[in-house]
A and B are shown apart, each in its own frame.
Chain A
Amino acid sequence: MEENKIGSNLENVKGEEFLQIFYKGAEFTKELMAENEKLRFKILQLEEAGKTGSTDPNLQAELQNLESKIQSLKEDKERLLQRHKEVEQENKDFADRYLEVEEENNNLANLYIASHQLHSTLDYKEVLRIILEIVINLVGAETFGIMLLDEKHNEMVTVAAEGIEPQEIANIKIGNGKVGEVAAQGESFFAEDLNREGIDLNNPVACVPLKIKEDVIGLLVIYTLLTQKESFKNIDFELFNLLAGHAATAIYSAKLYSLSERKLSTIQGFLGLLSETPQAQA
């Protein structure tokens, strides 16, 4: 009997606990349903607000402000990108211009040195040596000759050479062959193919007339270039132009000076003889 009583009590306790849980669950469900109802109402309100465009004024203003800022930042970005492109282009232009100026400066340095050296002496042999040095060191020629006009025979005669003996270069009649034609016409010749094997005296890679005004007094004839020199550059043509004029005047001046020196020496000797005659007679 007591066991039955105890069992019955336990069942009662369990039952009560179950009822408590159930009541709590029911209450929680009620709360959820109430919250759900609230949310449904809120959704309806928002949907309605979205349709009509009406919303919280502060929020709307903030949204507009942010959109405005975004647009402004986009415009700034575009402007900065454009400015960056412009600055990049300016930098490139400056770099290109710098290189041009640098090259021009280098060219002028070469031309200055060449001109200075050409006119630094009136000694004929020294002038020829200087021309040889300019062509070797500044142009980069390996085999070449300097020819001067022999008016008596109307032909060009080699007076100095590099890489070949002057005697090995035959005299050139004015108008004969490429070299003679340059002498006749007074126009420089530059071959298209500069890479050659061996020396072809009748087919130079370059031939530059040495002119005083329009009179050709000589020629610079280049047969081969240094192995590391593959082509003529702008500075080379500038040097050729310089040589065409300045080398000619330097040679001409030196020859005149030499002639004057010889005449002066002769006259001085003659005067010496005259001054000695009265003393001898006395």
Chain B
Amino acid sequence: MAKHNILIVEDSPTMRQLIIFSLKRIGDCNLVEASDGVDGWKKLSGQEFDLILTDINMPVMDGLKLVSLIRNDEKKQEIPIIIITTEGAEEDKRRGLALGANDYIAKPIQSHTLLNVVKKYIN
């Protein structure tokens, strides 16, 4: 079975560790971390990914801008994107989905919720 490349764009090291710890249970996943939108975009330029998890509120470049960039890039626009929100879930959900995100997870994140959402896009 081919490994799934998953990009995790999150400025909080704690959150990145939690996501990585949870996703390791899936197996056959190559997890790549990015600390903000710019870092994420750079990593996207150098590697192909099967799924992107991105926080919304990040310094330098926020998650919504990153989603917009991805959806406007012909080579990357088909990659599934899951956004992670802190603010009012409905507003962030609406904005993220309008820009092209496929799904969303609201903080505080629970491992089982994360796994269920991710599995929808890589299985």
Which residues of A line the B interface, CB within 8 A? 102-103, 105-106, 109-110, 112-114, 116-117, 130, 133-134, 136-140, 226-229, 235
Contact = CB atoms under 8 A, between A and B. Distances in A.
Given A136-B107, A227-B89, A106 B14 contact: no
B77 interface: no
The size class of the interface chain B forms with chain A is: 10 to 19
Scoring B15, B88, B111, B112 by chain A CB atoms within 10 A of each residue's CB, the highest score goes to: B111
B108 A138 contact: yes
8 contacts: A109-B111, A113-B18, A116-B17, A130-B13, A137-B18, A227-B89, A229-B108, A235-B110
Contact of B21 (A112, A140, A226): A112
B15 to A, nearest CB: 5
A115 B61 CA distance: 29
Contact of B15 (A102, A137, A140, A226): A137
Given A133-B12, A138-B18, 15 more contacts: A109-B18, A109-B21, A109-B111, A110-B18, A113-B17, A114-B14, A133-B15, A136-B12, A136-B108, A138-B14, A138-B108, A138-B109, A227-B88, A229-B108, A235-B110
B22 A117 contact: no
Given A112-B21, A117-B13, A106 B86 contact: no
A117 B107 contact: no
Interface in B96-111: 106-111
Contact of A228 (B17, B106, B110, B112): B106
- Dominant SS among interface residues on chain A: helix
Contacts of B13: 117, 130, 133
Contacts of A106: 110-112
Contacts of A226: 86-87, 106-108
B85 to A, nearest CB: 8
Contacts of B15: 133, 137
A209 to B, nearest CB: 22
A105 B13 CA distance: 21
A227 to B, nearest CB: 5
B92 to A, nearest CB: 10
Contact of A105 (B18, B88, B108, B111): B111
